[in-house]
């Protein structure tokens, strides 16, 4: 199959870069040469990227990247691609590779971060029923389609809400806390931030949720993993009887893992809608309860959406 020729690579590294613009030009040139598409964010604090390309070219990319000592020792996460997971290549320089916006109090993961816990160790903790608390540092809409069983799911709208999360889990300051996110980049900062806020026993899942799912498909992590590409969500062996659908249609609450965007281009809200609800509306995705505010500051009615 054509899909089997493609691979998606996800990685990051916190490392000081004196000239992020030079790294940007190098990355853009290298990816263009290898025909890779995807997103790459570069900052003085490091690199955060996800690309798709042929397996051969992804392998060549890793080889070229690791020629630079600054980018050696990276934990690369690989998964099956589709050939069209990304519409284009985007390489940008920003202030942070994952935005926390703490200013002068920002966290440097090279100075302070939680203890890296391997997937095998987490699996053992779960099997032995060790007392610990998983705190999911992803956005609320990511939680909806998949999460660890019995994990704490703070209603995060974006990563900048981290200080609010601390307030919600303050009672765990003297407990063993494990932070989790998709590939690990958010937890590098989140776990460090918890330590600065007085948490005494903080871990982070090494390689992120995707690494755990790969080793232990359909165990402990229920549902699918939300990803920021054309696949929207991914799972391993989803036809396995152990695969549990945790997502629910936002319209009728039926089990579903089907993410859509509202058909109203002004709204474009991201939510789960089952096939039945889409069929009832002739394939249009309609926000349950009406759309969000329009550009003119008023509520858009379902009737108006039907006219689109």
Q: Which of 179, 170, 157 is nearest to 197 (CA)?
A: 170
Active site residue 249: no
Q: Which domains does the chain have, with CATH numbers?
A: 2-93 (3.30.70.100), 103-226 (3.40.250.10), 259-306 (no CATH)
> Pairing between strand 133-136 and 176-180?
parallel
Phi-psi region of 124 (alpha: psi -120 to 50; beta: other; left: phi over 0): alpha
Rounded to whole angstroms, the Cα distance separating 39 from 28 reads 10
Tokens of 111: 């100075």
Helix ranges, the chain (H): 20-34, 55-65, 119-127, 140-143, 162-168, 185-196, 208-215, 275-280, 302-306
Q: How confident is the model at residue 2 (pLDDT cuts 50, 70, 90)?
A: low
CB 36 within 8 A of CB 89: yes
Rounded to whole angstroms, the Cα distance separating 146 from 148 reads 7
Q: Which of 88, 84, 108, 78 is nearest to 96 (CA)?
A: 108
Residue 25 has pLDDT above 80, yes or no: yes
Mean pLDDT, residues 209-232: 94
Mean pLDDT, residues 17-28: 98
Question: What are the beta bridge partners of residue 52?
Answer: 8, 37
Residue 296 has pLDDT above 60, yes or no: no
Q: Dump pLDDT digits (tens) for 252-266.
A: 999 999 999 999 888
pTM of the model: 0.87
Contacts (Cβ under 8 Å, ≥6 apart) of 63 = none
State residue 306's pLDDT score. 38
What's the mean pLDDT when you consider all of the chain?
Answer: 90
**H/E/C letters for each residue in 80-147?**
ECCCCCCCCEEEEECCCCCCCCCHHHCCCCCCCCCEEECHHHHHHHHHCCCCCEEEECCCHHHHCCEE
Phi-psi region of 35 (alpha: psi -120 to 50; beta: other; left: phi over 0): left
Query: Which of 181, 262, 267, 287 is the catalytic position?
Result: 181
Percent residues over pLDDT 90 in the chain: 77
Q: Dump pLDDT digits (tens) for 267-285.
A: 888 999 999 999 998 999 9
State residue 158's pLDDT score. 78
Dihedral of alpha carbons 254, 257, 263, 268, sign: positive
State residue 248's pLDDT score. 96
Rounded to whole angstroms, the Cα distance separating 128 from 250 reads 36
Q: Dump pLDDT digits (tens) for 34-78.
A: 999 999 999 999 999 999 999 999 999 999 999 999 999 999 999
Q: CA-CA-CA-CA torsion for 6, 10, 13, 18, nearest 10 degrees? A: 60
Cβ atoms within 10 Å, residue 158: 10
């Amino acid at each position: 199959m054509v899909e089997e020729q493609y691979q998606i690579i996800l990685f990051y590294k916190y490392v000081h870069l004196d000239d992020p613009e030079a790294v940007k030009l190098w990355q853009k040139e290298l990816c263009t040469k290898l025909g890779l598409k995807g997103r790459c964010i570069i900052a003085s604090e490091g690199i955060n990227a996800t690309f798709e390309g042929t397996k051969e070219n992804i392998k060549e990319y890793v080889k070229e990247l690791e020629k630079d000592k600054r980018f050696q020792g990276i934990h690369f996460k690989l998964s099956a691609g589709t050939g069209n997971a990304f519409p284009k290549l985007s390489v940008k320089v920003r202030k942070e590779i994952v935005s926390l916006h703490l200013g002068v109090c920002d966290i440097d993961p090279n100075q302070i971060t939680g203890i890296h816990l391997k997937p095998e160790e987490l699996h053992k903790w779960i099997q032995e029923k060790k007392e610990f608390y998983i705190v999911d540092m992803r956005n609320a809409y990511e939680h909806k389609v998949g999460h660890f069983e019995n994990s704490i799911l703070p209603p995060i709208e974006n990563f900048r809400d981290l200080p609010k999360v601390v307030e919600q889990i303050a009672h765990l300051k003297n407990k063993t806390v494990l932070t989790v996110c998709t590939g690990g980049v958010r937890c590098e900062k989140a776990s460090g931030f918890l330590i600065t806020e007085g948490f005494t026993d903080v871990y982070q899942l090494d390689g992120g949720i995707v690494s755990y799912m790969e080793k232990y498909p359909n165990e402990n992590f229920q549902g699918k993993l939300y990803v920021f590409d054309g696949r929207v969500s991914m799972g391993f062996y989803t036809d396995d009887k152990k695969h549990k659908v945790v997502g629910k249609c936002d319209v009728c609450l039926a089990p579903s893992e089907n993410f859509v965007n509202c058909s109203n281009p002004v709204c474009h809200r991201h939510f789960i809608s089952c096939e039945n609800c889409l069929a009832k509306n002739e394939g249009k995705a309609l926000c349950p309860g009406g759309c969000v505010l329009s550009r003119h500051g008023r509520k858009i009615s379902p009737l108006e959406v039907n006219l689109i």
